[in-house]
Amino acid sequence: MIRPSLGQQADIAWRAALPVGLTLLLMFAALLSWHLPRLGTIASALVLISVFFWTLHQPGLMSMWGVLSIGLIHDLMTLAPFGVGLLVLLIVHGIALWQRKALNGMPFLLIWGLFGVVAAGATLLTWLLVSFLQEMLVNPAQAFNLFLLELVCYPPLAYVFAWIERRLLPTD
Amino acid sequence: MGSIGAAAASRSWTHRFTFVLLVAFAFGLMLIGKPDSVLVSRVRMMMMDITAPVINAVSRPIDAARETASDVRDYFALKAENEALKRQNDTLLEWQRVARELQAENASLRDLLNFQPGPKVSFVTASVVADTSSSFVRSLIVLGGTRAGVAKGQAAVTGSGLAGRVLEVGERSARILLITDINARVPVVAERSRDQAVLAGRNSDLPELLYLSRDSDVKIGDRMVTSGQGGVFPAGLPVGEVVSVTGGHILVQPFVDFSRLENIRLIDYSLPGILLNDLGVDTTKALSPAKAGTITSGASE
């Protein structure tokens, strides 16, 4: 067996780290001070979409350990009640992994629909947990806005992710 | 073949077990994060210290591009603005003359009364590097920490008015809890009617007035300023304007435009009140008189 060279190993490593790295990059990019109104919720939406997409398409590269690191960094950066973001992302990862085989080869609209259901559940759970931990009912309109943002952002992001997957990642 | 199948099943069970453990771990974090927020706050500060300079470096080209676009727009508006500024300058010079007269008069009157001046105000100006607001939280990260003299509890203001207060401080960065956050409580008073209230954030653009007396006379258009109660903010800082009075809910539009914050001034008023907890604290509650934050750098006003 031929041992891969250092360059080949580096090439394999960065490709393997791409889904998790890309998710973190998107999160930090969304947190940059863009000076645009109402952009705040987008970081959480991007992270959820990315974790769902990559778990569905490249589960080997979006492992639960990857989700753990993304969730921890997200919760530390965004001042959300600690652990809530992580818990919700883990549950979304678990559902995507569980439904993965059933969705394999299904039309995009169906996958988008399932994502909508998962995102609605995830947003509702986040809202309930945040309200519980804050000991007051958080404005539900904000949670609904987050859900709409996730739903609307999924198709364009999934398109870009699929392009990256075809170009840069090995077939699963 | 059988042993391969058994190994795969074993791996699958291990995977599921580990996943359940991680979910339990997340639950555990939620529970320890709630009462022991000091620990979480410290880890957050470390995280901010590591990432804030990187985010700042990355955002420089974006800021530069935005500034260039803005410069082009500004160029066309300069002539008209110049004329207006000249007129404004004349008015301001007149005001300056009046102010100097009043200052001299004030000094002589203070002399007569044997007036004791309050502590000097010092400040640090910090640039906003990250907007960490989300559906459930309203906060910002600024580049400036304990090394620059930033301390927990300091008021965060802009030229327009009060933006929030310093919630967490690292060595090089700090987190500002905005007045629109659900945990923010600011004791305010209506400038016209002198009705006292507490401005409570709702995680939306418009915070709400709470604890107004039944016979209060607050109307749309009234300006709200800090009342100085609770010892966190000094009296008289502009906060916002009442924009809606419906069904017992009075909403206030803050003067600060949070989406366009670039620099923020963190002011130490050396007030006796301090904040007891990180989050969920009602600043209107009695606060123990204790040490005020010490500023090591920054200018004095």
Q: Dihedral angle at the C-alpha atoms of A43, A122, A132, B142, nearest 10 degrees?
A: 0
Is B175 in contact with A79 (Cβ distance < 8 A)?
yes
pLDDT at B175: 92
Is A64 in contact with B18 (Cβ distance < 8 A)?
yes
Q: How far is CA A19 from the centre of its chain?
A: 9
pLDDT at B98: 79
CA B209 – CA B248 distance, rounded (Å):
10
CA B84 – CA B82 distance, rounded (Å):
5
pLDDT in tens, A114-145: 999 999 999 999 999 988 887 788 888 888 98
pLDDT-derived band of residue B286, with 50, 70 and 90 as boundaries? very low
Parallel, antiparallel, or unpaired for β B223-226 and B238-246? Answer: antiparallel
CA A86 – CA B33 distance, rounded (Å):
12
Task: Find, among A169, A141, A148, the residue nearest to A53 by Cα.
Answer: A169
Is B55 in contact with A35 (Cβ distance < 8 A)?
no
What is the pTM (predicted TM-score) of this model?
0.73
pLDDT in tens, B82-122: 888 888 888 888 788 778 878 878 887 877 777 666 666 77
Average pLDDT over chain A, rounded to an integer:
87
Interface confidence, given as ipTM, is: 0.84
- pLDDT surpasses 80 at B256: yes
pLDDT-derived band of residue B144, with 50, 70 and 90 as boundaries? confident
- A142's CB contacts (< 8 A; 6+ apart) are A41, B135, B136, B203, B204
Are B185 and B161 spatial neighbours (Cβ–Cβ below 8 Å)?
A: no
Using an 8 Å CB-CB cutoff, list chain B residues near A45. Answer: none
Are B208 and B249 spatial neighbours (Cβ–Cβ below 8 Å)?
A: yes
Q: Is B111 exposed, middle or buried (0-12, 13-18, 19+ CB in 10 A)?
A: exposed
- pLDDT surpasses 70 at A35: no
Of A36, A84, A146, the CB nearest to B30: A84
CA A11 – CA A24 distance, rounded (Å):
19
H/E segment holding residue B225: strand B223-226
- pLDDT surpasses 90 at B164: yes
pLDDT in tens, A46-59: 999 999 999 999 99
CA A47 – CA A19 distance, rounded (Å):
11
The strand pairing partners of B164, in sequence order, are: B156, B178
pLDDT-derived band of residue B296, with 50, 70 and 90 as boundaries? very low
pLDDT at A170: 65
Higher pLDDT, B9 or A164: A164
pLDDT-derived band of residue A22, with 50, 70 and 90 as boundaries? very high
DSSP helix, strand, coil percent of chain B (3-state; round to 5): 40, 25, 35
- pLDDT surpasses 60 at A109: yes
B290 touches chain A (CB under 8 A): no
Using an 8 Å CB-CB cutoff, list chain A residues near B70. Answer: none
Is A37 in contact with B128 (Cβ distance < 8 A)?
no
Which long-range contacts does A152-156 make (Cβ < 8 Å, 24+ apart)?
A153/A42, A153/A45, A153/A46, A153/A49, A154/A49, A154/A112, A154/A115, A154/A116, A154/A119, A155/A108, A155/A112
Mind giving me the DSSP string for B53-84? HHHHHHHHHHHHHHHHHHHHHHHHHHHHHHHH
- pLDDT surpasses 60 at B275: no
Q: Is B25 exposed, middle or buried (0-12, 13-18, 19+ CB in 10 A)?
A: middle
Residue range A7-32: average pLDDT? 87
B29 touches chain A (CB under 8 A): yes
Are B257 and B225 spatial neighbours (Cβ–Cβ below 8 Å)?
A: no
Is B51 in contact with A129 (Cβ distance < 8 A)?
no
| First vs last C-alpha separation in chain B | 81
The strand pairing partners of B166, in sequence order, are: B176
Q: Please report the sign of the dihedral spanned by the C-alpha atoms of residue A137, residue B142, residue B122, residue B104.
A: negative
DSSP at B120: P
The strand pairing partners of B185, in sequence order, are: B200
B62: closest chain A residue by CA = A34
